[in-house]
Amino acid sequence: MSRVVAWSLLAIAVACGGEPPPASATTSAASTVMPAGSSTSASPEPPTAPATARRPARPPEPAVPQLRPPPPGLADLREAVPAARFAIGYATADNFTAAPLPGYGAPGAWAHPALAAALAEVDAVLLREGLGLLIYDAYRPRRATAAMVAWARRSGRTDLLDDGYIAARSQHNRGLAIDVTLVERPTGTPLAMGTAWDTFSRDSATFAVQGEARRNRERLRAAMIAVGLRPHDGEWWHFALPHADAPVLDVAYAP
């Protein structure tokens, strides 16, 4: 009996030893490392937006670079005819030389003040018809005209000099000529004219086409003649201020 009792007492002692006691609260807290300054709340912080998302949006680029003011004797057509639209081809590669011309460091449009006033008058008349003006070229620096002549000779296109499409002397150099077309006023869409501006062909002559293009050319021509401008029969887009005198200039368009 004593041996049985001894074994029973030993079994009870082992059972009471059981599993080790649970870890203390201090140990549990130490097992989770919290970053300095963080909250102990059970609710996680919402993720922060990337830094780039908080940057302010860039302001839109201006449609036209700020130009220096025109020299004495010329007016800025963007101010004289504020509703007009502009596509200054010689400031880009979108012209017959396939390169920007010297003197067009920025897409400007200056003109003799009398020509600027005439264009403003035309624009006011066209407003009643839902039409407007799109200006391709106005005053042209002398160096740009020289570059045109050099291009024609270098390219074997002296016929353009002989036929008068490229002139060694131009009223543009005096601010007395304008290259222009008509547009739908609300959208700026150019009216059909049969050829593009500066197309060197017989089709560019004002009366060389028929239909809608002919009517649009005649409408442009009539509007310009009404304010005293002289048309160029061989180039439907070209008009000049007659009976005016101004010096040849070589002031570049530049910011």
Confirm if 90 and 107 have CB atoms less than 8 A apart.
Answer: no
Q: Who's near 87: CB < 8 A, 6+ residues apart?
A: 134, 135, 136
Name the nearest CA neighbour of 169 among 95, 100, 247: 247
d(CA 175, CA 240): 9
Query: Among this protein's residues, is 184 annotated catalytic?
Result: no
Residues 83 and 127 sit within 8 Å (Cβ to Cβ): yes
* Positive/negative CA dihedral, 121, 123, 127, 129: positive
* Closest C-alpha among 168, 160, 171, 175 to residue 113: 175
Handedness of CA 88, 65, 133, 210 (dihedral sign): positive
Please give the biggest Cα pair distance in the chain: 146
d(CA 223, CA 125): 8
Q: What does DSSP assign to residue 99?
A: S
List the catalytic residues: 235
